[in-house]
Amino acid sequence: MAAHDAWALICRLFAGGTPVLRATLSSREASVLSVLGKAVKPTVVDQSFVLCPHCQQHRAQVWGDGRGGRMCRCPDCGPVTIETNDGAALALDEDWLRQKMRLALGIESRDGIDDLGGGVWRLGEARRSPVLLARDLSRVLHEPALLDRVRVAGGDIQVITPRSSTTRGSPFGTGVQWLRLEERFTFYGGGITFIATSPSATPVVADSATPVNGPFSADFRWATLPDVQATPIQFTDGQSKVLGALWAFKGEATTAERIMQRAGLDSAKPSDLFKIKTKDKGKPEPAAQHAAYGALVVTQQRAGLYAMPCAAAGKEVAMT
Ligand SMILES: [Zn+2]
């Protein structure tokens, strides 16, 4: 939890781009300061002008109130009392952030970091893919020339920014990937770690794909086979019927006819539904479905028998 809170504070400091007063940190934020080490550095905020605490709209000069306290004169609110604080603040070490981001992404050290101005940096190239770090997504969205400056032939651009309150999903066209700083990275062991897949991007899939019958989801629409694909594999309606039918025979070798009858399908044999059609050549989903079938089903060609060995293991579990 500490690592998560530490990363949340780093992201907040980066998004804001200015030091924050220690006095304004939440107790959770204050509790992770010791974990953050070199990522944050103490600083002092000039207290001769403050943001009006009442309207948060105007910066106003600070005066003594003649009784030992302090106040500011806001053009809208008039005199507003300011709670005393010593101006002790902390700031994110942004050089630290950019260097650790490069390490997390495996960016070669020989090409340096380019400051493109206005809170946008080119961190370098990760596997021939230019990486931009920006304080604000809208800046990159509204200035496409920034992308043209870093674009290379044959490599997608990765744009890393803090979350946006107004934008979700994929705001850029093809060839540009948006990675949310809060979700795709985390603070770990004094550095930064890249999270390869976004857990929140596919919450529906994660739930309905949960393996219940061996590697299969409850409805056989999904299989979790890490050797075939890192993420769960989704099947078509017909494919899931065939897989469910094979599962029902509990690992015993069975004829194609009985399996297809049980599945309620017209095709001659189970493998018919897993062939890759010519129009689907090169598409990842049919390839994964085909590979999953190959990994799950044992075929005795000559005898015309099919078996699903993992369903036999399921039987043993069910009997205990
Ligand atoms: Zn005010």
Residue 142 near residue 148, CB atoms below 8 Å: no
Closest CA to 54 of 25, 80, 73, 87: 80
CA of 21 to the centre of ligand 1 (A): 19
Ligand 1 center–CA 77 separation, angstroms: 4
Other CB atoms within a 10 A radius of the CB of residue 143 amount to 15
What is the rounded CA–CA span in Å between residue 202 and residue 194? 18
- Distance, CA 118 to ligand 1 centroid (Å)? 28
**How far, in Å, is the centroid of ligand 1 from the Cα of 67?**
21
**Domains in the chain and their CATH numbers?**
2-92 (no CATH), 94-194 (no CATH), 222-311 (1.10.10)
Residue 87, by phi and psi: left (phi above 0), alpha (psi -120 to 50) or beta? Answer: left
Whether the pLDDT of residue 318 is over 50: the answer is no
The Å distance, Cα 48 to ligand 1 centre, comes to 16
Quick one: DSSP state of residue 152?
Answer: B
Q: State the pTM of this model.
A: 0.55
- Of the two residues 16 and 212, the one the predictor is more confident about is 16
**Nearest by Cα to 98 from 86, 111, 87:** 111
Distance 9 CA to ligand 1 centre (A): 27
Residue 1: the pLDDT is 64
Calculate mean pLDDT across residues 131-153.
93
Q: How many angstroms does the Cα of residue 56 sit away from the middle of ligand 1?
A: 6
Q: How far is the CA of 49 from the centre of ligand 1 (A)?
A: 13
pLDDT confidence band for 154 (50 / 70 / 90): confident
Task: Identify the band that residue 51 occupies on the pLDDT scale cut at 50, 70 and 90.
Answer: confident
The mean pLDDT value of the chain amounts to 87
pLDDT at 317: 45
Q: How far is the CA of 59 from the centre of ligand 1 (A)?
A: 8
pLDDT score for 212 = 83
